[in-house]
Homo-oligomer: A and B are copies of this chain.
């Protein structure tokens, strides 16, 4: 590959525009460091983005996809349609692809990567998980000596911002969401973030990076943050916890867990201190121990930093294998077969500690009857805190030891039916084990 690297960009929104801008601004420094002169030859968007891309601007995506001089196509438009089609077309035309698009990789990564393997090109997607944090590269390369046992990530900046505001400034969910929207951290329709879809896509990608296989998204347990109330945050704080939306990937070598849900984290855990719209990924490897990567998980420039590092990696390593010259499973890891689909551990069998907030009628014997139900279902209680009573109704927080989800759910069902229990207000998982 020559020193000049011609790149085509599809999608000139926040990320794509930053890619164009930074490649221009830091061109000399990148050339000095890597010997590569990266040029944006064409940049496509349906909106007029001449002000961003200058003479490279085009409205016609085929100007990017069919340009024989373009070696690398950067896809920064997001979404599945038509991004997937453009990516596959670029691959078919012998171009490597760098993308920041978590949804298309989470949903169609298996097909896309297989197509790239067969075409002898690369598909890299560092920017699809946690923006500027080089977590994929770290897992793939820097930590390849390790069996990765667990990844716990704050991978969605919007929800972390909302939870931080609810915690620090006692905002309600709605107030915090409104501020996030005003700051541009949340979209007008925040569903994708607050219901955990975005985190789910990222968890699927991280699971792929760690295992080489793919996960069916509908197998991933997903719970957003809309049920978290300022009361839960305050009660959690009282007993030494903060609440974060976590993506959890756990691999004991036999069974794989992938799940997204709010979690009470001990206040001294490094993840507990990750606030505002920052992201962080906590990794446990069997050799390296505990590692954490912290940074801006979104935004044009940080995400562009990751996109450009992928461009440079493709340009430096070249096509990893081509047709008959393929290196087999050496280094590139390609066997040109579809990656396996992974079976996840049933959520029923996942063990967690739990925080349970419930309202009970304030009568003698209430705790005894609740405790008795837990005991029958073999669920063990760690801590009970009563948070006052208005004379007739008391609010109680119960922290459970680690128990199987199935047993917890059965116990909660039975507890909800007790005459003395008015309602189970919230149930949140506790801790990183």
Q: Chain A residues in contact with chain B, CB under 8 A?
A: 3, 18, 22-23, 25-26, 29-30, 32-36, 126, 132-134, 137-138, 141-147, 212, 270, 273-274, 285-296, 299, 301-302, 304-309, 312-313, 315-317, 327-333
Q: Which residue of B lies closest to A282 (CB)?
A: B294
A317 / chain B contacts, CB cutoff of 8 Å = 317
| A138-B138, A304-B287 as given contacts; A145 in contact with B22, CB under 8 Å | yes
Minimum C-beta distance from A120 to chain B (A): 16
A289 / chain B contacts, CB cutoff of 8 Å = 132, 295-296, 299, 301-302
Minimum C-beta distance from A35 to chain B (A): 4
**Given A26-B146, A35-B333, A293-B294; 10 other pairs, CB 8 A cutoff:** A18-B287, A26-B286, A134-B138, A141-B312, A145-B308, A145-B309, A287-B302, A289-B296, A291-B294, A292-B293
Q: Assess the B312–A144 pair: CB atoms within 8 A.
A: yes
A299 / chain B contacts, CB cutoff of 8 Å = 289
A212 / chain B contacts, CB cutoff of 8 Å = 32-33
A285 / chain B contacts, CB cutoff of 8 Å = 132, 305
Tell me which of B132, B137, B142 contacts A306 (CB under 8 A). B142
Tell me the bound Cα distance from A287 to B29 in angstroms: 13
Tell me which of B26, B141, B273 contacts A270 (CB under 8 A). B273
Tell me the bound Cα distance from A331 to B138 in angstroms: 20
Q: Assess the A293–B293 pair: CB atoms within 8 A.
A: yes
| A34-B144, A134-B142, A331-B34 as given contacts; A288 in contact with B305, CB under 8 Å | yes
Tell me the bound Cα distance from A145 to B315 in angstroms: 13
Q: Which residue of B lies closest to A332 (CB)?
A: B35
| A327-B35, A331-B35 as given contacts; A288 in contact with B146, CB under 8 Å | no
A301 / chain B contacts, CB cutoff of 8 Å = 286-289
Tell me which of B22, B143, B331 contacts A316 (CB under 8 A). B331
Tell me the bound Cα distance from A327 to B126 in angstroms: 27
Q: Assess the B290–A296 pair: CB atoms within 8 A.
A: yes
Tell me the bound Cα distance from A317 to B144 in angstroms: 15
A302 / chain B contacts, CB cutoff of 8 Å = 287-289
A146 / chain B contacts, CB cutoff of 8 Å = 26, 305
Q: Assess the A141–B305 pair: CB atoms within 8 A.
A: no
Q: What 5 pairs across the A-B complex have the smallest Cβ distances?
A: A134-B142, A145-B308, A132-B288, A35-B330, A288-B305
Minimum C-beta distance from A304 to chain B (A): 6
Tell me the bound Cα distance from A285 to B288 in angstroms: 25
| A291-B295, A330-B36 as given contacts; A137 in contact with B141, CB under 8 Å | yes
Q: Assess the A36–B132 pair: CB atoms within 8 A.
A: no
Tell me the bound Cα distance from A309 to B146 in angstroms: 9
A306 / chain B contacts, CB cutoff of 8 Å = 142, 288
A332 / chain B contacts, CB cutoff of 8 Å = 35
